[in-house]
Amino acid sequence: MARAFLNDPVKIDRRKHRTHAKLFNEIVAKHQTGEDYQQIEIKEFCQSAGVSRATFYRYYQNLADVIVVHFLIVISDFEKQIDALPQPSFENSSQVVVSEIERNLELIKLVAWSGTRQAVQSVLSGTAQQILILRDYPIARRQFVSEFLGGAILHFAQEIAAAPEPIPRAEVLELYRMLIPNNLAGTQQ
């Protein structure tokens, strides 16, 4: 796998990062208390998060954007981890994917609760397409395959997050490797 992501990392200034963290923590708290996502009002949400409405609307159009932006941050972290691998391969990059899923189970649970599946899947599909482009994957199938991969990985992550009890990491890794075979992932062993 090519060291693909060093040239264009997501950059977020510290102040925006702190604001995002407050908003994300508040949306997680709303989810954990069982609040209906559709009933959340921006004014009350911002007050609870300690962020002004003006600041919220400077960075986001709606609550769904908070979740989508957090996925972008996670993807940026994933990209840095892949780039840091001494010799990226299917084996070690699939371990990074599984680690990111396990570290972000709460974020993944927010997708169904908030109805942001399509937006999040688009972000994941875009990342898959970026990887396919770097791997010189055939143009004719690139769009289909990237959408398939984005949807499959999101669905997989949601199933892991929804499991009634934690699944051992080795089993999650084995399941992931069955879902995304080495030749489809476009990596070399």
- Of 182 and 119, the structure prediction assigns the larger pLDDT to 119
Instruction: Summarize the confidence of residues 1-19 as an average pLDDT.
Output: 61
Give the CATH number, domain containing residue 30. 1.10.357.10
pLDDT of amino acid 186: 45
> Residue 8: inside a domain, yes or no?
no
Of residues 39 and 188, more confidence is placed in: 39
| Banded model confidence at residue 187, pLDDT cuts 50, 70, 90 | very low
Q: Look at residue 184 in the predicted model and tell me its pLDDT.
A: 52
Q: Is residue 2 part of a domain?
A: no
Residue 112's SS3 state is helix
Query: In the prediction, which pLDDT does 5 show?
Result: 44
The pair of three-digit structure tokens given for residue 32, joined into one six-digit string: 């954990």
pLDDT at res. 17 = 87
Domain-embedded: residue 27: yes
Q: Is 173 a member of any domain?
A: yes
Residue 127 inside a domain? The answer is yes
Query: What does pLDDT average to over the chain?
Result: 89
- Cα–Cα distances in Å, from 69 out to 74, 107, 117, 144? 9, 11, 13, 24
Give yes or no for residue 114 having a pLDDT over 80: yes
**Mean pLDDT value of segment 21-32:** 97
Tens of pLDDT, residue by residue over 41-76, are: 999 999 999 999 999 999 999 999 999 999 999 999
Per the domain annotation, does 130 fall within a domain? yes
**Is 81 inside any structural domain?**
yes
Query: Is 3 a domain residue?
Result: no
Q: Give the ranges where the chain is alpha helix by DSSP (H).
A: 14-32, 42-49, 53-59, 63-84, 90-103, 105-114, 117-134, 139-162, 169-179, 182-185
- Please state the rounded mean pLDDT for residues 90-107: 94
Q: Are 60 and 142 in contact (CB under 8 A)?
A: no
Tally the domains of the chain.
Answer: 1
Res 120: pLDDT: 97
Whether 4 shows a pLDDT value over 90: the answer reads no
22: containing domain: 14-185
Q: What is the amino acid identity at position 27?
A: I
- For 143-181, the pLDDT digits (tens) are 999 999 999 999 999 999 999 999 999 999 999 999 887
Instruction: Give every CB contact of residue 104 below 8 A, 6+ residues apart in sequence.
Output: 74, 157
Q: Give the pLDDT of residue 147.
A: 95
